[in-house]
Structure 1
Amino acid sequence: MTQTTTRYWILAALMLLLLVVTATTPATAQTVQEPEGQRAPTVNSADPYENWNRSVFSFNETVDEWVLRPVAKTYRTVTPDIVDRGVTNFFNNLTEIRNFSNSLFQLKGESAVVAFGRFTFNTVFGLGGIFDVATAFDLPERPEDFGQTLGYWGVGSGPYLMLPFLGPSTPRHFTGLASDSFILPSAWDAVEEPEVYFLRALQIVDKRADLIPAEGIISGDRYTFVRNAFLQRREFLINDGKITADPFANDDEDDLMLDDF
């Protein structure tokens, strides 16, 4: 079986999983019947697996506290700002291939041209993407991923999921993440082992280090804050910046700055 055929089968399996999960998600909030005088807490249809999600969130927080965050803090301490910015730019430049392909899938010709232009300018004139010269040419990044492509074509997000190590997600988002990482063309395909593992590790540490300044805006229940911020950010991206109804509008922590996540 060729590599291309294998990718098609994996993509088909992911799409089937997405359809099954979204089809079995509760459509509305439900309340379990309790004896008279007692009422079970309502279950929000956007987060029907909250108990499980909170357990996974606690696990991820423990891993982050003892492993990832200390490494990220050390990285921020020892890495000069210009080098840190260059590393971030380099990895952002690799995502332009993803932005380009998903812009085509969503019939966004202008966004595809911008992604192609950014990758070309930054790779050629920005020393492989270390310097973001494309922004200076009035070509700002337009993030697009396969999860957004699925949303563009009407696929529902499914329930909110907190995944071990990977963090906040939904079936649609996870399918898109897996497709972008293993199915669709990517600049990572050109990187051989074992270098690819070192670069992936550096990318994770660099991304975690960039999130440290944003930790100060988190207030109230951390789980609720992270959940709301993630879902709002995903809707913001899928709708190209258009504000839509917030499924958690009644929560205390719904006044979030989307660009911080």
Structure 2
Amino acid sequence: MREFDIRRWAPGMLLFMALALGATAVQAQNLQEPPMEGEAMPANTDDPYENWNRKVYAFNDAIDRWFLRPVASGYRTVTPDIVDRGVTNFFNNLTEIRNFTNSLFQLKGESAVVAFGRFTFNTVFGLGGIFDVATAWDLPERPEDFGQTLGHWGVGSGPYLMLPLLGPSTPRHFSGLASDSFMLPSAWDAVDSPEWYYLRTLQIVDKRADLIPAESFISGDQYTFVRNAFLQRREFLINDGKITEDPFADDDDFMLEDF
């Protein structure tokens, strides 16, 4: 296990916050209002903490609306598309070590080879990952994390949770996040302070900026849409693209193919 360092851990969690809050970011107009305070929520066995989750969602959404999104929007405005794409490619390349490790844990030999090949080709021929030459060479990314590894070996997802700052999650997903952050090898281990902090900050802003176009997909009740999108996406990843069951299929018409 890697040595725990809260100073290095915190920016990583902020990155996850950027992704989570970005997934919950929406335009305020033309959206349904959540139930009023004290109004009974419909029971849902797959979301037993919905009352609490909705309150946390509102808190996260406020932080994103007043801080994270404006910064990301400014970054998106001043950064040329080719530079933005290069920054995104660079950080995506760093995740290939995680993809490789978890592919091995799941006994997915082909995916492990693809992850190793992507990291090697993009690092050597893509100028440190700035250019995604691996995808051009028919080696598309196969994302794998420890939450997927737990699911592969039969660990149940648990109830849906909306975590403060961290956004949509489940007990299995959060356990996987912690394992990827603290125990598994990462390309970030080779980066020393203070450059580590500068890069993490850039990664947070870049990720949030890349999520801004996806906001146009959100419709209806914000909370319900985000919950369904998150759970469908996690099932899609854990089952390697095969959706076996959607407990919220009747809530709205969102489908993964919309992305």
TM-score bin, normalised by smaller chain: 0.7 to 0.9
Residue in 1 aligned with 2:225? 225
Cross-structure match for 2:254: 255
* Pairs within 5 Å for 1:152-191: 152-191=152-191
The code of the aligned residue for 1:255 comes to F
- The answer to whether the 8 A contact 1:89-1:129 is kept is yes
Residue of structure 2 in register with 1:82 after alignment: 82
Is contact 1:219–1:225 with CA below 8 Å preserved after alignment?
yes
Amino acid paired to 1:249: A
Q: Secondary structure at the match of 1:184?
A: coil
Please give the root-mean-square deviation of Cα atoms over the aligned residues, in Å: 1.6
Map 1:54-203 → 2, pairs under 5 A: 54-203=54-203
Alpha carbons of structure 1 residues 138 and 198: separation in structure 2 relative to 1, 3 Å = same
Partners of 2:4 and 2:195 in 1: CA distance: 24
**Which amino acid letter does the alignment assign opposite residue 235 of structure 2?**
E
How far residue 191 of structure 1 moved from its aligned partner, in angstroms, is: 1.1
* Corresponding residue SS for 1:138: coil
Bigger Rg, structure 1 or 2: 1
What is the match of residue 45 of structure 2?
45
- Give the SS at the match of 1:140: coil
How far the C-alpha of 1:57 sits from its partner, in A, is: 0.5
Task: Give the drift of 1:256.
Answer: 2.5
Match of 1:17 in 2: none
CA distance in 2, matches of 1:58, 1:84: 30
Letter in 2 for 1:241: G
Residue 255 of structure 1 deviates from its aligned partner by 2.3
Q: Distance in 1 between matches of 2:66 and 2:2?
A: 40
CA distance in structure 1 between the aligned counterparts of 2:177 and 2:87, rounded to whole angstroms: 21
Partners of 1:149 and 1:126 in 2: CA distance:
29
CA distance in 2, matches of 1:4, 1:73: 35
Displacement after TM superposition at 1:258 (Å): 5.1
State the distance in 1 between where 2:60 and 2:218 align: 16
Counterparts of 1:198 and 1:222, CA distance in 2:
32
Greater length-normalized contact order (CA 8 Å, ≥ 6 residues apart): 2
| Cα shift at 1:72 | 0.5
Deviates more, 1:177-186 or 1:96-105: 177-186
Deviations 1:215-249 (A, max 9, x none): 11100000100000000000000000012110111
TM-score (norm 1): 0.83
Of all paired residues, the percent bearing the same amino acid is 81
Give the letter for the 2:155 counterpart: V
Evaluate the alpha carbon distance shift between residue 258 and residue 55 of structure 1 in structure 2; reply closer, same or farther with a 3 A threshold: farther
Instruction: Tell me the distance in 1 between the aligned counterparts of 2:254 and 2:78.
Output: 34
Deviations 1:134-185 (A, max 9, x none): 0111100000000000000000011111111111111111111111111100
- Within 1, Cα distance between the matches of 2:240 and 2:110? 13
Report the alpha carbon displacement of residue 194 of structure 1 after superposing the two structures with TM.
2.1
Look up the SS of the partner of 1:180 in the other structure: helix
Amino acid corresponding to residue 244 of structure 1 in structure 2:
T
Tell me how far apart the structure 2 counterparts of residues 247 and 211 of structure 1 sit (CA, whole Å). 25
Alpha-carbon separation, structure 1, partners of 2:226 and 2:188: 29
Say if 1:121 and 1:134, in contact at 8 Å, map to a contact too. yes
Pairwise CA distance, 1:45:
1.8
1: CA distance, partners of 2:176 / 2:213:
28
Q: State the Cα distance separating 1:41 from its structure 2 match.
A: 5.1
For the Cα contact (< 8 Å) 1:233–1:258, is it kept in 2? no
What is the CA distance between 1:207 and its match in structure 2? 0.9
SS in 1 for 2:212: helix
Closer, same or farther in 2 for the Cα pair 1:128/1:254, shift >3 Å? same
